[in-house]
Structure formats: C-alpha cells, structure tokens
Amino acid sequence: MTNRSFDAIVIGSGIAGLRAAVEIAARGGRVAILTKDGATDSSSDKAQGGMAAVLSDDDEVALHYQDTLRAGDGLCHEAAVQVLVEEGPGRALELIDWGARFDREGNGLALAREGAHSKRRIIRARGDSTGSEIVRTLVARAREEDGIALLPRMFSIDLVMSGGSCAGLLALDERSLETVTLAGPAVVLATGGAGQVYRETTNPPQATGDGIAMAYRAGAEVMDLEFVQFHPTALCLRGAPRFLLSEAMRGEGGHLVNAAGERFMERLDPAGDLASRDIVARGIVAEMRATGHACVFLDMGGIDPGEVRRRFPTIASTCARYGLDIGRDRIPVAPCAHYTMGGVKTDLWGRTSIPGLYAAGEVACTGVHGANRLASNSLLEGLVFGARAGQAVLRDRRSPPRPARPAADLAGILAIDPAAAGPAVTALREVMWGKVGIIRDGRSLEGAIRSILELERGLMPRPVSRSGLEARNLLFVGRLIAESALRRRESRGAHFREDFPEREPGRGRHSVIAPGAPAPDLPRLPVPEAF
C-alpha cells in the first residue's frame, strides 16, 4: 500500500473540484485532484445549456434571486441563494479573464433564456457545449499551479478518520490495482451526483453517488436526498442513449407536443413550455399516461432549421446519428433523472458536519436549490461554492493529522464481486425508476426500501474492484433517497407523492439524516439555526 501526503485532497475533477483546487493551490497549498477516469470525465463536461449569471444591464441580481426562490418551491436556504447570485457574476467574469470563450453577439455576451427565468441571463459556449468550455478553462488554469497533482484513474474507496476528524482518503489506483492512502488535513468532496441509481438518466457513468456514500459512512449528515430533478427532455429513442436536449431549445422557441401534434403545457401552467422543470416533467408524464404513448415530442418548427442546427451543434450532430434533423423533425423526448438537489449537508463555505471534510457542487447540499433547481444554476453553484470551499480550507488551516485509519476497515468493506455487481445495479435501477421516480407513494417507497435491502443482503464481499465499490455506493445511496422520500409526507418541487399531493403550508423544512439515527418513520427535521 502506497502512502502520500498533501495539504488538501480534492475528489472529483468537475467544475467545483477544479475551482476549489485552484483556490487552494494559488495560495501555496499542495493539492491532489483525484478523478475516477480522465481529467474531463465528469457531469460538468457534459453540461449543455449554459450558466446563469447577471451580466446584462437589463437584468438584476434581485430578479435572479427571486427566480431561484420561486423554482425552489419554498425550500431554498435564502442566504445560500444570496451568495450564489451575488458572487456569480464575478466568478463568470473571472473565467473570461482566464480564457473561457463564451459565445458573443455584437460587442457583448450572447444571453439565452431558459425555463422559470424572468430574463435572458444564460451564457453559453459553442452553442451547447458550455460545461466543456468551462472545464477546459479550469483544467488549463489548474495546470498553471505547481502545487496541483492531477491523479487520474484513482477510485476513492473511503475516507480516513482520526479522532472524529477527516484525515485523508483510501483509494484504489486502477493503473496498478494497488490501494493507496492519501493523508491530509482537508478533503473536499466534489464527486457529482447519483443519477446512475435510475434506469433512465442523462448522467455519465461516473455519477454513482460515491461522495454521498463515503461521507455518510464516515458520520456526516446528508440532507434533502428525496429531491431528485428529472429533466423533462431527454432523447427517447430505442437504441439511443438518454441524451439531454437542452432546456434552451424551448427558451429559443421550441414547443412540447403530444403524438397528435397538440401543445399541452399551456393547459397545466401559465408559463407553458417554460415552466419550472418539476412542473414540465410531471406534465409530460401525465400526457404520456393520457395518450398511452412512451414519449412526447419537442418541435422546433417555426424557427429557421439552419439557425436551430447552428445554435445547438452538439445536439444536432447527436440526433443526426439516429436519423433525426432537429431543425425539421419532431424529436421524441421523455423525462430522465438528471440532478441530485440533496447531498452532503454543508454550511455556506462547504464545511460538513465532520471537521476536515468539505463538499461542493452536486454532491453537496447548501439548500441553494431548495426543492427544485432553477435551470443553469448548477454550473454557477460549482464555481461559487467550489471557490468558497477552497477558501474555507485555507482559512481553517488544520494541523497535519495524526496517523489514521479508514472509516471502514479495508478487510470489512463490502466490495461486491464484479460478476454480481451488474445484476444488482440493474435491479436497483429498475426499483428506483418504478418506485422512487417522478411520481411516488408510501407503499411503493416502502417496497423499494425492502427490495434494496434484499439486494444488499444478497451480495457477498469479494476483493476490491471499482465495479463492486460503485455497486455498493449505488445501493446505499438509492436506499437513502427512498428513505428520505418516505419521510416527506407532502408534495413539493421535484418530490411528488400521490398519497400526499398537497404542499404543507408555510416554508418547507429540510430533511436531515444523521448516521445512526432511525430513519423512515421520523418526522422531517428543521434546519438548525446555525445552518
């Protein structure tokens, strides 16, 4: 077993992780960035639509703030939203200073509008490759810092603890198949979401909930995991991946229609096709049920076909591979799991309930998204709170940890046999899609929890492997999502229960689960005053 020491260890090379690492290294810290695959293999790199930030004289920070609160359906942590919208423009301009090439119109930035935004404030790159451009910029910036070591193909197994504090990480080096212990007084989780718990998802294969699972096993609190955002429009075609069709397509004038070519969203919400994502996703499901069809359609008719292809080149080329012309054809779409609003509970600086452990980006939960994320706030979240987590690491400046051990003994880790991992994960995804999906009820949620527990009990420990470790994490996080959804006996934002269809009056309460606490039958817990 190899041992190495750093001032900070960042797990994940998406926007939040890269921005945190740059912040720490720019002030003299020695930082390791671990990534399961390559430096650009992340959900951030795949983000299409853009990044929301107030960069126009026609817009106001106060409007962005109100739009975010409205989408969050009474559950946003208002101080977190204030941080996001006030610091966001500065972080976006910083990216431009570092070389980010955002699309321009005339002398200014090209600004788009997406669902639930009151103004055109979405900046983009190469039409629909915004995430890729931001990641490219941050990777280049990170490589300018001598103190950053980028460690690819390094799978994080578990956190290392010492005296109740996080003191490092146990990892599997997939190149050598050796376990590696990385020591450091600060670990930043930036592992992204957990979309792979669902059968239908827009998330890349790396989104297996590793950070949430590791943090919870080490004793950290998690929050609001019942709020999983289902993107309304993913390509729904036999044999094709569930490729995301950006909400910006509707922002530019596209419409949702049923199999008969009829628009239906206007019947459900005054904002029609540009309603918030939870409303549009449920509207599509209702229309699919009513018509008996497996999808609805995105129609860009009425817009110049050539302009549509130029505006969305990545989407156009992907659809073309499956015989679809986005400028002329109606594109079959259906909702897919897309974003985890909940995650590891943090303060406004990325600090978790464990000293020395920080989290930023999709793996974290500051409460900024509430019950439903406003479109294009996620890339901004990664920038703003990634930088803040880096600043907190520097401010806290903890002493090097004492000799420590993994949160779970290596010999006792439930690393599933690779031969068993595939069937277990396939079964989990079916359970989650069928019982913990867009529309839920208590009986289905209870059944999902029982099914997941049976899957966990049916697996035997084997030598450590990536597929086994990912399966273990997926099962664990899937159960936490189902338990959180069973606790919340109301419908709010992305969480809709047919047996409790109404939203409880007043401001919502966050659901916090602490390790060791009895889970499904407890009432929801309010956020502490110190939150």
What separation in angstroms does the CA of 142 have from each of 26, 99, 146, 209, 213? 9, 13, 8, 25, 27
Residue 66 has, within 13 A of its CA and on its CB side, a CA count of 7
pLDDT tens sequence across 212-270 = 999 999 999 999 999 999 999 999 998 888 888 988 899 889 999 999 999 999 999 99
pLDDT at 283 over 60: yes
Query: Distance (Å, rounded) from C-alpha 143 to C-alpha 147?
Result: 9
**What integer pLDDT is reported at residue 531 of this predicted model?**
28
Per-residue model confidence (pLDDT) at position 129: 81
Burial class of residue 67 in the structure, from the number of CB atoms within 10 Å of its CB (0-12 exposed, 13-18 middle, 19+ buried): buried
pLDDT in tens, 489-500: 999 999 999 999
Q: What is the dihedral of CA 435, 48, 96, 24, to 10 degrees?
A: 30
Identify the pLDDT of residue 522. 36
Question: How far is Cα 31 from Cα 226, in angstroms, rounded to an integer?
Answer: 33
pLDDT tens, residue by residue, 150-178: 999 999 999 999 989 999 999 999 888 88
Q: Is pLDDT at 211 greater than 70 in this prediction? A: yes
pLDDT in tens, 66-83: 999 999 999 999 999 999
- Determine whether 70 is exposed, middle or buried from the number of CB atoms within 10 Å of its CB (0-12, 13-18, 19+): middle
Tokens of 214: 């590791």
Position 122 confidence tier, pLDDT thresholds 50, 70, 90: very high
Residue 91 Cα distances to 97, 139, 394, 415, angstroms:
10, 16, 19, 40
pLDDT digits (tens, 9 = 90+) for 54-113: 999 999 999 999 999 999 999 999 999 999 999 999 999 999 999 999 999 988 999 988
The overall average pLDDT reported for the chain is 90
pLDDT (average), residues 114-130: 88
Which helix (H) or strand (E) segment is 160 a member of? strand 154-162
277 is catalytic: yes
Token pair belonging to 46: 């795949």
- 419-434: average pLDDT: 92
Identify the CA nearest to 32 among candidates 162, 130, 163, 173: 173
Q: Which token pair is 190?
A: 């930036």
Better-scored residue on pLDDT, 221 or 524? 221
Q: Which residue is associated with the tokens 């520097």?
A: 394
pLDDT, greater one: 526 or 258: 258
Has residue 4 got a pLDDT over 70?
Answer: yes
Q: CB neighbours of 394 closer than 8 A, spacing ≥ 6?
A: 23, 24, 27, 29
Quick check: pTM over 0.85?
Answer: yes
Which domains are assigned to the chain? 238-335 (3.90.700.10), 410-504 (1.20.58.100)
Give pLDDT, residue 27: 93
pLDDT tens readout for residues 310-345: 999 989 999 999 999 999 999 999 999 999 999 999
pLDDT bin (cut points 50, 70, 90) of residue 528 is very low
Q: Where are the alpha helices (DSSP H) in 143-295?
A: 210-218, 248-251, 277-291
Does the pLDDT value for residue 2 go beyond 60?
Answer: no
Is the predicted pLDDT of residue 396 greater than 70, yes or no?
Answer: yes
Query: Any idea which of 209-213, 302-306, 448-452, 457-461 has the lowest mean pLDDT?
Result: 457-461
| CB within 8 Å of 204: residues ≥ 6 apart | 41, 42, 43, 46
Q: Determine the 3-state secondary structure of 302 from DSSP.
A: coil
Q: Is the pLDDT of residue 526 over 50?
A: no
Given the residues 141, 277, 351, 479, the one annotated as active site: 277
Across the range 304-308, mean pLDDT stands at 94
Position 371 pLDDT exceeds 90: yes
Query: Per DSSP, what are the bridge partners of residue 298?
Result: 256, 331
Is the pLDDT at 21 greater than 80? The verdict is: yes
Task: State the pLDDT at residue 521.
Answer: 43
Q: Is the pLDDT of residue 525 over 90?
A: no
Asked whether the predicted pLDDT for residue 527 surpasses 50, the reply is no
For residue range 184-200, list pLDDT tens digits in order.
999 999 999 999 999 99
- Residue 403's closest CA among 51, 242, 135, 167? 167
Q: Is the dihedral of CA 112, 114, 120, 122 positive or negative?
A: negative
CA distance 15 to 328: 35
